[in-house]
């Protein structure tokens, strides 16, 4: 998993509340277990019409936001069914951080396991960032995980909280497998002793 330390990127404003996982990646795209390629269908039903043409009014289809790495979202982002394809699609598109007043629990935890930083802030702070994100080409935010600070285009700063263990995992690029492999030496020692003491197993 790629480390998350400091991210400076375009922030896309998505003030809609209750953006659920089926909106993030519709169910017809869940047939794969590969993490690559899902970005093309991120927010598919909002990005494209029935003929597959881009809907110009959708934020990620606007020139200023096509390479957005941050989403400033409305309340309750990632609700609905518990599909890990949702953070996969966001990550494959290039999104590394989502900021909202609240997230669905399973989606929130899946983000950390896939290298995405979900940040919870009060509504008044979201309003400020939504305003910053509405500036189009100038909608740049910097998210510093080590310092736990978001810096806006005008130099203003907003502090955020993050669980210490989840922060450690992101800073070091550790998913569940990575965490296990940190203990590889201890696991090897245990298996060697077990083989010597119980060779018949």
What pLDDT, in 10s, does the model give residues 35-48? 889 999 999 999 99
| pLDDT at residue number 99 | 98
| pLDDT at residue number 197 | 78
| pLDDT at residue number 179 | 60
Low-confidence stretches of the chain (pLDDT < 70) are 176-192, 194, 201
- Sequence-ordered list of residues with C-beta below 8 angstroms from that of 57, at least 6 positions apart, any chain: none
Decide yes or no: CATH 3.20.19.10 for domain 6-197: yes
Domain ranges of the chain: 6-197
| pLDDT at residue number 8 | 97
Is the pTM higher than 0.85? The answer reads yes
Helix axes 164-172, 105-113, angle to 10 degrees: 40
The beta strands (E) that lie in 41-113 are given as 70-73, 97-100
């Amino acid at each position: 998993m790629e480390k998350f330390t400091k991210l400076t990127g375009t922030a896309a404003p998505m003030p809609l509340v209750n953006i659920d996982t089926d909106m993030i990646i519709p169910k017809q795209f869940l047939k794969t277990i590969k993490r690559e390629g899902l970005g093309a269908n991120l927010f598919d039903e909002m990005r494209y019409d029935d003929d597959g043409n881009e809907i110009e009014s959708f934020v990620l289809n606007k020139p200023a936001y096509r390479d957005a790495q941050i989403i400033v979202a409305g309340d309750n982002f990632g609700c609905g069914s518990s599909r890990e394809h949702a953070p996969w699609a966001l990550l494959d598109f290039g999104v590394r951080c989502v900021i909202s007043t609240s997230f669905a629990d399973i989606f929130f935890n899946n983000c950390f396991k896939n290298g995405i930083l979900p940040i919870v802030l009060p509504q008044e702070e979201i309003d400020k960032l939504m305003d910053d994100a509405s500036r189009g080409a100038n909608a740049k935010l910097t998210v510093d995980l080590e310092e736990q600070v978001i810096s806006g285009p005008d130099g203003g700063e907003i502090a955020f909280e993050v669980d210490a263990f989840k922060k450690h995992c992101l800073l070091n690029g550790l998913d569940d497998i990575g965490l296990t492999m940190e203990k590889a030496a201890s696991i090897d020692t245990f298996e060697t002793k077990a083989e010597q003491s119980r060779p018949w197993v």
